[in-house]
Amino acid sequence: MPAILDRLLAAGKTQDDIASGTHISSRRLTEIASGSEPTLYELKILAKFADIRLSDLINDRLETDQVRVLLRRTPRQRVAEADPAESFVRKIIKIGRFLPTDYSSPEWAWATSEHRTRGDAERDAEAFRSVFFGSNPVDPLVDLPRRAVEDAGVLLFVSSNRELDGLSCVVNHRRFVMLAPRFGPRMLYTLAHEIGHHAAHLSLDEDFVTSDQNPENAALRHEDAASERYANAFASALLLPRVGVGIALDRIRKQLNSQRTELGDIEILYLAHVFGTSFEAAARRCEDLRLIQKGSGWALYENLCQKYGNPEKRAKEAGLPRRPPITFPPAPPMVVEAILHDIRRGELSVGKASELLEIGVTDVHKLNAMLT
């Protein structure tokens, strides 16, 4: 459906309202909604009715074409009107207009694997951690959102759209990641997972897009598709490095005075809290490292949900220390500054900036005041 009709319907207009206000027949509007190209005259009338500039409407049409081309290039995606990835990609293309025209994401020299096996994922994750976080394997990567943006050159955005957990894509030599607002540790895993997709794709010369729905849950249930296994293995190894897990578990068992040979839910919860991950991510990592049997992580998770509601309630009851906060800024600083610059020049309204950044108007004013 053309963006102009999306806008009007989202604003509460019915097709009859549009037909009455534009004198375009309902039948013709149905044809346009089904993919028929509107004439320039029809675009002018629709733009006037929607109270937007014709140039903005033409940009919307170009944007829609670019989204469809990008989705067609991705074998994993089906081009469908209801594709949940479309709204994420549309926002990325809109945001891309605020980046310098000559801006490209930096090349990643640390990602050198070719076969994309689990072993490759482990090595690439170790390389990423070494380059951007140093060599301490016990340090939790709760600062990954900021470092991914500032150091790794990932253009990270948080979207209010909850249809997907995350999306990664390359558009015009730029690496983008879009996350939905979730439980912080779940978002952290999804971010690491999307970085894994970028490491697997690696090239900035070819546009691509891939989207994910709850990847850590699929990984724990061993239902992740073959194309997702590298990204899941990368995320697990990045957030819970092999050596760090061993050191942390040794400390945890001493603290708990545990003599058990097999890990239980409390040890895994402690591990999750140490590294800033969810219970699900920590349990799957323990399976991969053969610290617990394959499939037992999901059994422990289901048991916690049945007895306590969720793993975090079990952690609270057991008196585990509070998790460190994980902050996900709505957009990279360079994008925020470019949008605020356009506001000051009168080229962009505060309302439009609020829509683009998906934050409240009051928050836009606060950001403007902070950076003025």
In the block, which residue shows the tokens 């057991």? 318
Q: Which domain-ending residue is among 78, 109, 130? A: 78
175 with 210, same domain: the answer is yes
Instruction: Compute the radius of gyration of the chain from its Cα atoms.
Output: 23
pLDDT of residue 298: 94
318 with 358, same domain: the answer is no
Domain count within the chain = 3
Q: Which domain-ending residue is among 61, 78, 95? A: 78
CATH number of the domain residue 66 falls in? 1.10.260
In the block, which residue shows the tokens 């926002």? 91
Q: 212: helix, coil or strand?
A: strand
> In the predicted model, what is the mean pLDDT of residues 277-303?
94
Confidence of residue 76 (pLDDT cuts 50, 70, 90): very low
Arithmetic mean of pLDDT over the chain? 84
Instruction: Check pLDDT > 90 for residue 7.
Output: no
pLDDT of residue 349: 85
61 with 84, same domain: the answer is no
Instruction: Check pLDDT > 60 for residue 65.
Output: no
Instruction: Check pLDDT > 90 for residue 238.
Output: yes
pLDDT of residue 366: 77
What tens digit of pLDDT does each residue of 239-257 get? 999 999 999 999 998 888 8
Instruction: Check pLDDT > 60 for residue 71.
Output: no
Q: For residues 314-327, b (16+ Cβ closer than 10 Å) or e, as one string?
A: bbeeeebeebeebe
Instruction: Check pLDDT > 50 for residue 338.
Output: yes
**Global pTM?**
0.79
pLDDT of residue 142: 93
Q: Which domain-ending residue is among 63, 78, 93? A: 78
C-alpha separations of 326 from 146, 266, 323 in Å: 10, 22, 9
11 with 92, same domain: the answer is no
321 with 237, same domain: the answer is yes
10 with 31, same domain: the answer is yes
364: containing domain? 333-371
C-alpha separations of 316 from 89, 280, 283 in Å: 38, 16, 18
